[in-house]
Amino acid sequence: MGKALEGVKILDMTHVQSGPTCTQLLAWFGADVIKVERPGVGDATRGQLRDIPDVDSLYFTMLNHNKRSVTLNTKADKGKEIFVKLIKECDVMVENFAPGALDRMGFSWERIQEINPRMIYASIKGFGPGEFEDCKVYENVAQCAGGSASTTGMRDGVPIVTGAQIGDSGTGLHLALGIVTALFHREKSGRGQRVECAMQDGVLNLCRVKLRDQQRLQHGPLKEYSQHGEGIPFGDATPRAGNDSGGGQPGRILKCKGWETDPDAYTYFITQAAVWKNVCDVIGKPEWKEHADYAKPEARLTRLNEIFGVIEDWTMTKTKFEVMEICNPLNIPVGPILSMKEIAADRSLRKTGTVVEVDHPERGPYLSVGNPIKLSDSPADVERSPLLGEHTDEILRDVLGMNEDEIVAAKAEGAV
Ligand code: COA
């Protein structure tokens, strides 16, 4: 049996991170992803954050697996001609250029529909229609404008951006779902459609619980926030909640054995109400099980600093993995703070293909993150990213049916 998206051709005009994340996922599901890059230049990330001179960066290689690369100058006449043929041949076109760039090339949505009415045209922009629609947007801008930064960090500190690329990779994920949904729709309608995802919207979708809290604030304090227990009044906007757990069950990051020298010797610890008695036993406070000040979740809310202080006295006597081993069988939710070094060596992640070693002809072996979405009938084998223009001839010949003379002529004109 073939891969889930086998037979689907993607015209991949994406660059940097958000768009490439989306098309990489589609490639892992079996789509033929044809990445169009400017001749001699390519995706800017090929040359960004390079660790080895003159070799495609890890930034690029880790976002462009399983794709084919064709170079094409879509602003030159001959290049446009070839581009039109590609639009006719492909099912989906994906782009994350700055607003208006594709229109300026002469390929508006109306024109694309004219060329291929079955085309699904998917794009990522920083903002949706409105005041900021013309802005160029990068990851941290989206995190700030989408409500993540204002709700991340310590209550009395500055807003913080998170290391998880929720603006770029997060929006790429949203777009991939939109594309697959549009493909499903096309089965019934016979028509393509436009799919749009704004990074601000993608981030906000991931910050949904914070807009929930914004509305709850109108009806009283957010009792599960540590600041409530500390007697600090709320303002009129959802505050930064430090490491509080968002789900109403108090949680904190606590030191573990070795924290003095290891910056990642910490555990997340949740005092879930249903297992409170187990928590009391583990930390050596059996008397708290029935004590009026500690037995009920409501009573504990004003004592969380004291309670987590006692729990931390216990976690500091254990490694983060020992905490996990002791708490897991008791259903106490805990999680070790894993460093990237530990994740890179994690045997389970290697086994499932979530962390994979990939070989590259110019850089040699490197580690990457494989497909985190596992389909039992459509396994995602990770193949290295293409070199710039590696498949130009093959695509012009096999996908577009151009003969050798036509290919030579296109090259002579600088179109590919
Ligand atoms: N042939 C000819 N020209 C090409 C081309 C090709 N194959 N591929 C790209 N170009 C041109 C574009 O048409 C554009 O030209 P124009 O400005 O004359 O219209 C130019 O290259 C640069 O494109 P642009 O998207 O403006 O790149 P940038 O480096 O200036 O901006 C971003 C980068 C990411 C800020 C911007 O693309 C953007 O805001 N994208 C949407 C949001 C997004 O995805 N952000 C996150 C990225 S991780």
pLDDT tens-place values along the chain, 416 residues long: 799 999 999 999 999 999 999 999 999 999 999 999 999 999 999 999 999 999 999 999 999 999 999 999 999 999 999 999 999 999 999 999 999 999 999 999 999 999 999 999 999 999 999 999 999 999 999 999 999 999 999 999 999 999 999 999 999 999 999 999 999 999 999 999 999 999 999 999 999 999 999 999 999 999 989 999 999 999 999 999 999 987 789 999 999 999 999 999 999 999 999 999 999 999 999 999 999 999 999 999 999 999 999 999 999 999 999 999 999 999 999 999 999 999 999 999 999 999 999 999 999 999 999 999 999 999 999 999 999 999 999 999 999 999 999 999 999 999 99
The residue whose CA is least distant from atom 36 of ligand 1 is: 98
Residue 56's identity, in one-letter code, is D
Closest atom, ligand 1, to C-alpha of 38: 7
Pocket of ligand 1 contains residue 107 by CB under 6 Å: no
Q: Whose CA is nearest to atom 18 of ligand 1?
A: 101
- Dump the DSSP string for 337-400: ---HHHHHH-HHHHHHTSEEEE--TTT--EEEE--SS--TTS-----PPPPTTTTHHHIIIIIT
Cβ–Cβ < 8 Å for 315, 253: no
Q: CATH topology for 9-206+353-412?
A: Rossmann fold (3.40.50)
Tell me the C-alpha to C-alpha distance, in Å, between residue 128 and each of 102, 131, 133, 243.
Answer: 16, 9, 6, 31
CB atoms under 10 Å from CB of 41, counted, come to 12
Is residue 282 lining ligand 1, measured as CB closer than 6 Å? no
Best of 136, 143, 203 for a ligand 1 pocket test (most atoms within 8 Å of beta carbon): 136
Q: Which fold has domain 208-332?
A: formyl-coa transferase, domain 3 (3.30.1540)
pLDDT at site 245: 80
In this prediction, residue 378 carries a pLDDT of 96
The span from the CA of 400 to the CA of 86, in Å, is 7
88 Cβ contact partners less than 8 Å away, ≥ 6 residues apart: 115, 116
Residues 6+ apart with CB under 8 A from 205: 174
Does 74 contact ligand 1 (Cβ within 6 A)? yes
Yes or no: say if 400 and 83 are a contact pair by the CB < 8 Å rule: no
244 tagged catalytic: no
Up-side HSE of residue 399: CA atoms within 13 Å toward CB? 27
DSSP 302: G
Residue whose CA lies nearest to ligand 1 atom number 11: 101
Taking alpha carbons only, the member of 44, 48, 54, 59 closest to residue 14 is 44
Half-sphere exposure of 201 (CA within 13 A, CB side): 16
pLDDT the model gives residue 389: 97
Q: Is 122 in the pocket of ligand 1 (CB under 6 A)?
A: no
Selecting among 56, 91, 168, 201, the annotated active-site residue is 168
Going through 167-262 in order, the beta strands assigned E by DSSP cover 194-198, 251-255
Q: Which residue minimizes the CA distance to atom 7 of ligand 1? A: 38
Domain ranges of the chain: 9-206+353-412, 208-332
- Decide: 167 in ligand 1 pocket, CB within 6 A: no
Structure confidence at residue 246 (pLDDT): 73
What is d(CA 54, CA 56) in angstroms, rounded to the nearest whole number?
Answer: 7
- Which protein residue's CA is at the shortest distance from atom 19 of ligand 1? 101
- Is the minimum distance from the CB of 17 to ligand 1 under 6 angstroms? yes
